[in-house]
Amino acid sequence: MRRTGAQIVWEMLEREGVEVVFGFPGGAIMHTYHPRQEYGIRHILVRHEQCAAHAADGYARASGRVGVAMVTSGPGATNLVTGIATAMMDSSPIVCITGQVPTAVIGSDAFQETDITGVTLPITKHNYLVTDVNDLAYVIHEAFYIARSGRPGPVLIDLPKDVQQAETDFVPPEEEVRLPGYRPVGPGGPEVVRQAADLINDAQRPVILAGHGVLMSGAMETLKTFVKKTETPVALTLLGKGGFPESHPLALGMMGMHGEAFVNQAIQEADLLLAFGMRFDDRVTGKLERYAPQARKVHVDLDAAELNKSVSVDVAILGDLRQVLEQLLPLVEPASHREWLEQIERWRGESQTRDIVNQSDNGHVVAPQVIHALWEATGGEAIVVTDVGQNQMWAAQYYHLDQPHPFITSGGLGTMGFGLPAAIGAQVARPDKEVWAVVGDGGFQMTVHELGTVIQEQLPQRIALFNNNCLGMVRQWQEFFYDRRYESTHLLNPDFVRLVEAYGIRGWRVTEPGDTQQAIAEARSHPGPAFIEFQIVQKGQDGNVYPMVPAGAALHEMIRRPTPAAEAREKQGG
Ligand X SMILES: Cc1ncc(C[n+]2csc(CCOP(=O)(O)OP(=O)(O)O)c2C)c(N)n1
Please give the positions annotated as active site.
49, 111-112, 161, 473
| Close Cβ partners of 377 (under 8 Å, ≥ 6 residues apart) | 517, 520, 521, 524
| Least CB distance to ligand FAD at residue 487 (A) | 19
- Considering CB distances under 5 to 8 angstroms, the limit depending on partner class, which of ligand X, Mg ion, ligand FAD, none binds residue 284? ligand FAD
| Among 60, 255, 328, 428, contact with ligand FAD (rule: CB under 6 A) | 255
Which residues lie near ligand X (CB under 6 A)? 387-391, 414-417, 440-443, 466, 468, 470-474
| Least CB distance to ligand X at residue 371 (A) | 12
| Least CB distance to ligand X at residue 54 (A) | 11
Question: Total number of residues binding ligand FAD (CB under 6 A)?
Answer: 38
> Site map for ligand FAD, 458-487, x if CB under 6 A?
---------------x--------------
For Mg ion, give the closer residue by CB, 409 or 468. Answer: 468
| Among 26, 74, 412, 543, contact with ligand FAD (rule: CB under 6 A) | 412
Chain positions 440 to 469 lying near Mg ion, rule: CB under 5 A, are 440-442, 468
Look at phi and psi of residue 255 and say left if phi exceeds 0, alpha if psi is from -120 to 50, else beta: beta
- Considering CB distances under 5 to 8 angstroms, the limit depending on partner class, which of ligand FAD, ligand X, Mg ion, none binds residue 62? none
> Site map for ligand FAD, 273-312, x if CB under 6 A?
----xxx-x-xx---------------xxxx--x------
Residue 472 in contact with Mg ion, rule: CB under 5 A: yes
| Least CB distance to ligand FAD at residue 308 (A) | 12
29: three-class secondary structure by DSSP = helix
Q: How many residues does the chain have?
A: 574
Nearest Cα residue to 418 out of 436, 437, 390, 434: 437
Q: Are 246 and 404 in contact (CB under 8 A)?
A: no
- Residues 270-287 as b/e (b if ≥16 CB within 10 A, e otherwise) read bbbbbbbbbbbbebbbbe
- Considering CB distances under 5 to 8 angstroms, the limit depending on partner class, which of ligand FAD, Mg ion, ligand X, none binds residue 18? none
Instruction: Give the Cα separation of 446 and 391 in Å (integer).
Output: 15
For ligand FAD, give the closer residue by CB, 407 or 503. Answer: 407
- Considering CB distances under 5 to 8 angstroms, the limit depending on partner class, which of ligand X, Mg ion, ligand FAD, none binds residue 303? ligand FAD
Q: Are 151 and 126 in contact (CB under 8 A)?
A: no
Instruction: Give the Cα separation of 263 and 136 in Å (integer).
Output: 50
> Site map for ligand FAD, 195-234, x if CB under 6 A?
----------------xxx--xx-----------------
| Among 151, 299, 475, 561, contact with ligand FAD (rule: CB under 6 A) | 151
| Among 54, 126, 205, 258, contact with ligand FAD (rule: CB under 6 A) | 258
Residue 411 in contact with ligand FAD, rule: CB under 6 A: yes
- Considering CB distances under 5 to 8 angstroms, the limit depending on partner class, which of ligand FAD, ligand X, Mg ion, none binds residue 416? ligand X
Helices and strands in the chain, H and E counts: 24, 19
For Mg ion, give the closer residue by CB, 219 or 464. Answer: 464
Nearest Cα residue to 111 out of 29, 28, 24, 23: 28
| Least CB distance to ligand FAD at residue 46 (A) | 23
Q: Are 19 and 65 in contact (CB under 8 A)?
A: no
Number of C-beta neighbours around residue 464 at 10 A = 27
- Considering CB distances under 5 to 8 angstroms, the limit depending on partner class, which of ligand FAD, ligand X, Mg ion, none binds residue 443? ligand X
Provide φ and ψ at 408, rounded to 5°. -90, 115
Number of C-beta neighbours around residue 381 at 10 A = 12
Instruction: Give the Cα separation of 308 and 284 in Å (integer).
Output: 15
Q: Report DSSP state, residue 449.
A: G
Query: Which residue, judged by CB position, is nearest to ligand X in the bound state?
Result: 440
Q: Are 284 and 299 in contact (CB under 8 A)?
A: no
| Least CB distance to ligand FAD at residue 259 (A) | 5
505: three-class secondary structure by DSSP = coil
- Considering CB distances under 5 to 8 angstroms, the limit depending on partner class, which of ligand X, Mg ion, ligand FAD, none binds residue 254? ligand FAD
Instruction: Give the Cα separation of 219 and 200 in Å (integer).
Output: 18
| Least CB distance to ligand FAD at residue 330 (A) | 19
For ligand X, give the closer residue by CB, 415 or 427. Answer: 415
Residue 240 in contact with ligand FAD, rule: CB under 6 A: yes
Residue 388 in contact with ligand FAD, rule: CB under 6 A: yes
CB-count burial class (<10 Å; 0-12, 13-18, 19+) for 213: buried
DSSP string for residues in 400-441: ---SSS--B---SS--TT-HHHHHHHHHHH-TTS-EEEEEEH
CB-count burial class (<10 Å; 0-12, 13-18, 19+) for 509: middle
DSSP string for residues in 465-500: EEE-SB-HHHHHHHHHHSTT--TT-B-----HHHHH
- Considering CB distances under 5 to 8 angstroms, the limit depending on partner class, which of ligand X, ligand FAD, Mg ion, none binds residue 474? ligand X
Contact set with ligand FAD (CB under 6 A): 90-91, 151, 211-213, 216-217, 237-240, 254-259, 277-279, 281, 283-284, 300-303, 306, 320-321, 388, 392-393, 411-412, 414, 473
Contact set with Mg ion (CB under 5 A): 440-442, 468, 472
